C-alpha cells in the first residue's frame, strides 16, 4: 500500500518541472533529484533534494513522496501536514498538487485507522476546477465512510470516464445497493461490465512502441494493463455470483462460478463461493472436485483443512459410507502429514531466508499475515541498510586517506616552499626599490637620460669627463679654455637635443621595466599569500578530521543500532511464527479430532446396519488403526 | 458477507498498514539517521575530494528533445576523454521529463581549459547524428559548474547543443 502511495505521489509532482524557472539553483537540485528518482535511487534523490539551498512546497511534496518510497510514512505525514498548514496565500501549492497532498494524507490517516482525520483532509479536496483526481477522491471517500457511502440514482459513467478507479467505485456502490435492491445492483454490475468490455486493448506492437513508459496504475480511457483488466473482470463476476447467491438464484451463480478462470487471482475466493452453492445444491461429485481443488491450491490453509474433512462429510450425507470412511481415513493421514510438515518447516527463520529461501509454510504465513509481512519487510529494509554499511565504510576510509595526505602536504608545504618564495620576494622588492630610486634620481637630474645604457651613456660620460678636465684647465688659467668651453657647451646642447628627441621612447622603456617588475612582485606576493592561506588550512583540515572521526563513530553506533533492531524484529517475527505454528497445530489437532469422531460415527453406523463382510473387514481395519 | 467486503476493498488491502508502534517509529528514526549520515558524508566528500578551488562539474539536460534522441555522450577535457555515457530508454525519458543528469565531477588546475562534448544519437528523420560542442573556460577560485543543454531549434527543425555555465551557490 505504501509503495502504491509513493508511486502515485512521486509520479505526479514531477510533471510541472519544465514549467518552472530554469535559472534557480534550487530548481537544478530539484531536477537532479528527479534524475536520481528515475534511476530508482530514492535515497540519493532525497539527499540531493535536501541539499538544495531553498525549499518550497513543491520540493517538500516530492520529499514526502520519497520518504514514502523509503518506508518512512511518519516523516512523509509530517511533511504533508506542514505543506497543508504552512503554505497558504501566495506560497500555497497549486490546487492540483494540494489535492494530491490532501488525498495522500487522508489515505495515510485512514491506514492508521484515524477516520476522523481522514474525513477532515478529504473534505478539503477541491476538484471543482480540475477533475483529474475525482476517481481517487470518490474511492477514498467510500473507504472512509464505508458502509455509509453516497449512492447516486444511477451509475455516473460519464463523470467517471477516464478515471482508473471507476470500476471499483461503481462496484462498491452496487455492493451497498444490493442490501436493499439486489436486482438493481445486478443491473448496475451488468452495465459496468458493458462499459468495461468496450475497452479496446492495444496490440503488442502498439504498446511496445507507443507506451513504453505508461504508468501501470493510470487508465487511458478504459485500457487497463492486461492483468488488472482480467482481475477486474473476475472481480465483477465474483460480485455478481455473490448477489445471485443472496437472491437464492443458485443456477445463475453456478453458471458464473463453474466457468470461473482457474488461473485468476480470485480463484480461491471463487472456489469458496462455489463450494458453498454446491453444498446448498447437494451436487456431491462437483463439490468433491472443488474441495480437492481447494486442498491442492491452498496448502497449509484453513480452507484446505476444512475441505479435507468436508469430503467425508459430503459422502456420509450421500450415504456412501464406505467411501466416507475411506475419505475420513485419508483426511486423518492428511492432517498427520500437515502437522509433520509444519513441524519441519516452522523452524526459526534467518534474515537470509526471508528474501528467497523461506519454507512454503513460512512463505504462506508471511504473505497472509499483514503484521508478519510488515515485520519481514522491516527486517529486509534493515538488512539493506546494513549491506550499505561497508560501502559507507569504504567512503570514510577514502576520506581518511585523503585527509592524511592533505595534512602531510600541509606540513611539508611551509618548511619547503615558503622560505624560497619569501627570499625571491625580498630580492624582487629590493630590485624594485633600486629601480624606483634610479628613476627618481634621473627625474631630478638635468639629463634625465642619465640612466640610459649603451652609446648615449658612453658619450655622456665622455662629455662629463671633458667638462671636469676643462674646469681644471680654467683653474690653471690655460689658454684656449674659453674655446674648449664653448665647444663643449655646443656638444652638450647637441646631446641634450638628441636625447630629448628620444626621451619619450626611453621613458616608455623605463615604465615598461617598472611595470614588469611590479607585476612579478605582485604575482609572487599573491603566491606567497596563497601558500600562507594553504598553510593556514591545517586548522580547517584538523576540524574536518574531527568531523570524520565523529562520522566514523556515528557509523559504528548506527550499525550496531541497526543490527540490534534487526535482531529484535527477527526475534519478534520468530515468536509470532511460533504462535502461528502452535495455532495451526491446534487447529489441525481439533480438525483431526473432529474427523476421528466422524470416522467413529460412520463405523458405528455401518456396524449397526450390519454391513457386508467386506465392509466389516474395512471397519475392523479402521478400528485397529484408530 | 465478510469475504465479499474483503473483496470490495481488495485493491487497497494488499498490505494495510498498522498503526505506528514504537518499533516502527524507532525504525524510522534509524532510517533518518542513516540519511543524515549519508548527507554529512557527502558534504565532507565534496569539501575534501572536490573543493571549489579545483572542482569541475558537468551536467546534462534536455529541453523537449523532439529533433534529437540522445544515444551517447562523450566528454573530453583538454582533448583527453574523461567521461562517456550510454543512455537507456528510461534515462532518455527521464531527461525529457526535465531531469538533470550529473554527468561528470572532477578536479582541475587553475587556468584556461577546454571542454568538448560529443553527442551521438538520432537527429531529424531518425538519421544518425553526431555533433560536438566546445567550451573554453577559466578556472579560478570558484567551482566551475557547466550544463550541457540539448534544445530544439524550431527555426530550422534542428537540435541545438549549448554549454551553459551555472552561477555558484
Between residues A608 and A452, the one the model is more confident about: A608
Mutate to test the interface with A, among B23, B27, B95 (most CBs of A within 10 A): B27
Considering only CB atoms, which chain B residues are within 8 Å of A272? Answer: 3
| A-contacting residues in B 56-85 (Cβ below 8 Å) | 59, 61, 63
pLDDT of residue A204: 39
Determine the 3-state secondary structure of A399 from DSSP. Answer: helix
Which pLDDT belongs to residue A407?
Answer: 87
Asked if A388 reaches chain B (Cβ–Cβ under 8 Å), the answer is yes
Query: What percentage of residues in chain A have a pLDDT greater than 90?
Result: 19
Mean of the pLDDT values across residues A243-254? 87
Q: What is the pLDDT of residue A406?
A: 87
Dihedral angle of Cα B32, A10, A94, A30, to the nearest 10 degrees:
70
pLDDT given for residue A10 in this prediction: 42
Residue range A194-223: mean pLDDT, rounded: 44
The predicted-structure confidence for A534-554, as pLDDT tens digits, reads as follows 666 788 888 889 999 999 999
On whether the CB atoms of residues A44 and A36 are closer than 8 A, the answer is: yes
Pick from B34, B47, B64, B103 the residue to mutate for testing the A interface (most A CBs within 10 Å).
Answer: B34
Domain positions in chain A are: 1-148
User: Residue A579 pLDDT > 90, yes or no?
Assistant: yes
CB of A1 less than 8 A from some CB of B: yes
Instruction: Measure in Å the smallest separation between the Cα of B12 and chain A Cα atoms.
Output: 7
When pLDDT is averaged across residues A214-225 and rounded to a whole number, the result is 46
More confident residue, B148 or A457: B148
Assess whether the previous peptide bond of A235 is cis (omega < 30° from 0).
Answer: no
Strand partners, B146: B58, B165
Q: Which one has a higher pLDDT value, A621 or B73?
A: B73
Chain A residue numbers with beta carbons less than 8 Å from the beta carbon of B33 are 554, 558, 561
Listed in sequence order, the residues at least 6 apart from A43 whose beta carbon sits closer than 8 Å to its beta carbon are A70, B35, B38
Residue A147 has pLDDT above 60, yes or no: yes
Q: Which residues of A touch B109 (CB under 8 A)?
A: none
pLDDT number for residue A411 = 78
* Of residues B19, B44, B93, nearest to A112 (C-beta): B19
Nearest residue in A to B96, CA atom = A18
pLDDT tens-digit series, residues A368-387: 888 898 889 889 989 989 99
A565/B166 CB distance under 8 A? no
Q: In chain A, which among 181-240 make CB contacts under 8 A with chain B?
A: 212-213, 235, 238-239
For chains A and B, CB pairs below 8 A equal: 179
Residue A14 near chain B (CB below 8 Å): yes
Residue A38 has its nearest CB partner, among B45, B63, B90, at: B90
A271-285, A559-573, A605-619, B18-32: which is most confident? A559-573
B141 touches chain A (CB under 8 A): no
Give the closest-approach CA distance of B18 to chain A in angstroms: 6
- Return all residues near A121 (Cβ < 8 A) that are at least 6 apart: A84, A102, A105, A106, A109
Are B41 and A395 a contacting pair at CB < 8 A?
yes
Q: Is the pLDDT of residue A621 over 90?
A: no
Per-chain mean pLDDT for chain B: 85
Which of residues A613 and A375 earns the better pLDDT score? Answer: A375
A213: pLDDT strictly greater than 60: no
pLDDT over 90 (residue B5): no
Most confident range, picked from A232-241, A292-301, A456-465: A232-241
Backbone angles phi, psi at B68, to 5 degrees: -155, 135
Cβ under 8 Å to B: A residues 510-549: 544, 547-548
Does residue A23 surpass a pLDDT of 80? no
Of A487, A485, A501, the C-alpha closest to A448 is A501
The CA distance from A58 to A415, in Å, is 53
- The CATH number that domain B52-165 falls under is 2.60.40
Task: Select the more confidently predicted residue: B14 or A34.
Answer: A34
Better-scored residue on pLDDT, A618 or A25: A25
CA dist., res. A466 & res. A458, Å (int): 12
* Inter-chain CB proximity A392 and B38 less than 8 Å: yes
How much is the pLDDT for A46? 92
| A263-277, A585-599, B33-47: segment of lowest average pLDDT | A263-277
Contact indicator for A70, B31 with CB cutoff of 8 Å: yes
Q: A1-148: what fold?
A: 1.25.40
Q: Does the beta carbon of B110 lie under 8 angstroms from any beta carbon of chain A?
A: no
Q: Which residue of A has its CA nearest to B26?
A: A565
Residue B44 has pLDDT above 60, yes or no: yes
Lowest mean per-residue pLDDT among A19-28, A148-157, A414-423: A19-28
Q: Please give the mean pLDDT across all residues of chain A.
A: 80
pLDDT at B145 over 70: yes
The alpha carbon dihedral of A563, A565, A566, A568 has a sign of: positive
Q: To the nearest whole percent, how much of chain B has pLDDT over 70? A: 86
* Residue A50 clears pLDDT 60, i.e. is over it: yes
Residue A7's pLDDT band (cuts 50, 70, 90): very low
Q: Is the ipTM of this complex over 0.85?
A: yes
Contact B91 A28 (CB under 8 A): no
**B83 vs A89: which has the higher pLDDT:** B83
In this predicted model, what pLDDT tens digit does every residue of A341-369 receive, in sequence order? 999 999 999 998 888 888 989 998 998 88
Judge whether residue A199 has pLDDT over 50.
Answer: no
Binned at pLDDT 50, 70 and 90, residue A504 comes out as low
Cβ atoms of residues A369 and A59 within 8 Å: no
- Residue in A50, A373, A402 nearest the CB of B48: A402
**Mean pLDDT for the stretch of residues A39-49:** 90
Instruction: Give domain limits for chain B.
Output: 22-51, 52-165
Amino acid at each position: 500500500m505504501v509503495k502504491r502511495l509513493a508511486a502515485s505521489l512521486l509520479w505526479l509532482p514531477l510533471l510541472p518541472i519544465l514549467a518552472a524557472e530554469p535559472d534557480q539553483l534550487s530548481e537544478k537540485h530539484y531536477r537532479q533529484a528527479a534524475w536520481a528518482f528515475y534511476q530508482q535511487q530514492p535515497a540519493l534523490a532525497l539527499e540531493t533534494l535536501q541539499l538544495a539551498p531553498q525549499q518550497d512546497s513543491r520540493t517538500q511534496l516530492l520529499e514526502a513522496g520519497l520518504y514514502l518510497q523509503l518506508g518512512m510514512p511518519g516523516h512523509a505525514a509530517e511533511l504533508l501536514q506542514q505543506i497543508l498548514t504552512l503554505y497558504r496565500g501566495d506560497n500555497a501549492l497549486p490546487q492540483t498538487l494540494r489535492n494530491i497532498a490532501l488525498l495522500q494524507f487522508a489515505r495515510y490517516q485512514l491506514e492508521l485507522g484515524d477516520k476522523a482525520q481522514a474525513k477532515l483532509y478529504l473534505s478539503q479536496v477541491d476538484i471543482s476546477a480540475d477533475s483529474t483526481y475525482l476517481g481517487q477522491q470518490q474511492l477514498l471517500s467510500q473507504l472512509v465512510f464505508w458502509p455509509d457511502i453516497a449512492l447516486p440514482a444511477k451509475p455516473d459513467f460519464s463523470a467517471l470516464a477516464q478515471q482508473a478507479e471507476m470500476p471499483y467505485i461503481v462496484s462498491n456502490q452496487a455492493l451497498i445497493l444490493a442490501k436493499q435492491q439486489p436486482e438493481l445492483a445486478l443491473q448496475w454490475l451488468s452495465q459496468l461490465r458493458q462499459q468495461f468490455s468496450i475497452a479496446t486493448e492495444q496490440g503488442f506492437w502498439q504498446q511496445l512502441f507507443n507506451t513504453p513508459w505508461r504508468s501501470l496504475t493510470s487508465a487511458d480511457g478504459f485500457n487497463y494493463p492486461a492483468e488488472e483488466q482480467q482481475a477486474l473482470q473476475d472481480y465483477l463476476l465474483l460480485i455478481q455470483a455473490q448477489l445471485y447467491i443472496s437472491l437464492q438464484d443458485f443456477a445463475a451463480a453456478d453458471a458464473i462460478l463453474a466457468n470461473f478462470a482457474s488461473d485468476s487471482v480470485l480463484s480461491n475466493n471463487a472456489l469458496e463461493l462455489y463450494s458453498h452453492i454446491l453444498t446448498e445444491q447437494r451436487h456431491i461429485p462437483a463439490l468433491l472436485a472443488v474441495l480437492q481443488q481447494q486442498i491442492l491450491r491452498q496448502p497449509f490453509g484453513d480452507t484446505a483443512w476444512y475441505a479435507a474433512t468436508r469430503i467425508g462429510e459430503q459422502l456420509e450425507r450421500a450415504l456412501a459410507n464406505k467411501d466416507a470412511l475411506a475419505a475420513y481415513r485419508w483426511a486423518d493421514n492428511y492432517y498427520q502429514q500437515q502437522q509433520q510438515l509444519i513441524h519441519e518447516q516452522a523452524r526459526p527463520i534467518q534474515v537470509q531466508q526471508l528474501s528467497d529461501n523461506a519454507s512454503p509454510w513460512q512463505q504462506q504465513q508471511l504473505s497472509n499475515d499483514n503484521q508478519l509481512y510488515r515485520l519481514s519487510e522491516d527486517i529486509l529494509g534493515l538488512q539493506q541498510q546494513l549491506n550499505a554499511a561497508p560501502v559507507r565504510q569504504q567512503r570514510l576510509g577514502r576520506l581518511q586517506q585523503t585527509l592524511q595526505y592533505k595534512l602531510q602536504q600541509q606540513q611539508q608545504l611551509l618548511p619547503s616552499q615558503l622560505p624560497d618564495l619569501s627570499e625571491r620576494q625580498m630580492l624582487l622588492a629590493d630590485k624594485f626599490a633600486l629601480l624606483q630610486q634610479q628613476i627618481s634620481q634621473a627625474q631630478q637630474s638635468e639629463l634625465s637620460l642619465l640612466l640610459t645604457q649603451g652609446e648615449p651613456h658612453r658619450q655622456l660620460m665622455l662629455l662629463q669627463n671633458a667638462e671636469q678636465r676643462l674646469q681644471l684647465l680654467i683653474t690653471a688659467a690655460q689658454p684656449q679654455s674659453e674655446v674648449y668651453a664653448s665647444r663643449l657647451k655646443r656638444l652638450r646642447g647637441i646631446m641634450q637635443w638628441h636625447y630629448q628627441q628620444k626621451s619619450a621612447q626611453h621613458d616608455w622603456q623605463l615604465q615598461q621595466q617598472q611595470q614588469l617588475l611590479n607585476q612579478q612582485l605582485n604575482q609572487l606576493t599573491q603566491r606567497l599569500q596563497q601558500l600562507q592561506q594553504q598553510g593556514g588550512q591545517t586548522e580547517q583540515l584538523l576540524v574536518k578530521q574531527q568531523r570524520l572521526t565523529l562520522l566514523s563513530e556515528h557509523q559504528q553506533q548506527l550499525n550496531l543500532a541497526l543490527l540490534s533492531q534487526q535482531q529484535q524484529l527477527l526475534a519478534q517475527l520468530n515468536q509470532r511464527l511460533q504462535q502461528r505454528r502452535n495455532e495451526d497445530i491446534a487447529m489441525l489437532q481439533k480438525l483431526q479430532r473432529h474427523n476421528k469422531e466422524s470416522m467413529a460415527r460412520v463405523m458405528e453406523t455401518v456396524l449397526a446396519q450390519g454391513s457386508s463382510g467386506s465392509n466389516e473387514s474395512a471397519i475392523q481395519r479402521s478400528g485397529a488403526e484408530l | 458477507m465478510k469475504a465479499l467486503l474483503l473483496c470490495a476493498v481488495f485493491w487497497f488491502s494488499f498490505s494495510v498498514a498498522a498503526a505506528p508502534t514504537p518499533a516502527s517509529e524507532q525504525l524510522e528514526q534509524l532510517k533518518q539517521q542513516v540519511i543524515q549520515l549519508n548527507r554529512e558524508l557527502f558534504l565532507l566528500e565534496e569539501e575534501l575530494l572536490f573543493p571549489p578551488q579545483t572542482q569541475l562539474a558537468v551536467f546534462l539536460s534536455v529541453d523537449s528533445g523532439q529533433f534529437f534522441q540522445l544515444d551517447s555522450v562523450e566528454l573530453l577535457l583538454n582533448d583527453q576523454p574523461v567521461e562517456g555515457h550510454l543512455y537507456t530508454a528510461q534515462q532518455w525519458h527521464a531527461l525529457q521529463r526535465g531531469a538533470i543528469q550529473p554527468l561528470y565531477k572532477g578536479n582541475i588546475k587553475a587556468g584556461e581549459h577546454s571542454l568538448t562534448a560529443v553527442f551521438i544519437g538520432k537527429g531529424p528523420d531518425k538519421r544518425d547524428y553526431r555533433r560536438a560542442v566546445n567550451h573554453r573556460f577559466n578556472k579560478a577560485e570558484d567551482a566551475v559548474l557547466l550544463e550541457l543543454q540539448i534544445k530544439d531549434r524550431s527555426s530550422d527543425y534542428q537540435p541545438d547543443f549549448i554549454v551553459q555555465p551555472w552561477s555558484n551557490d
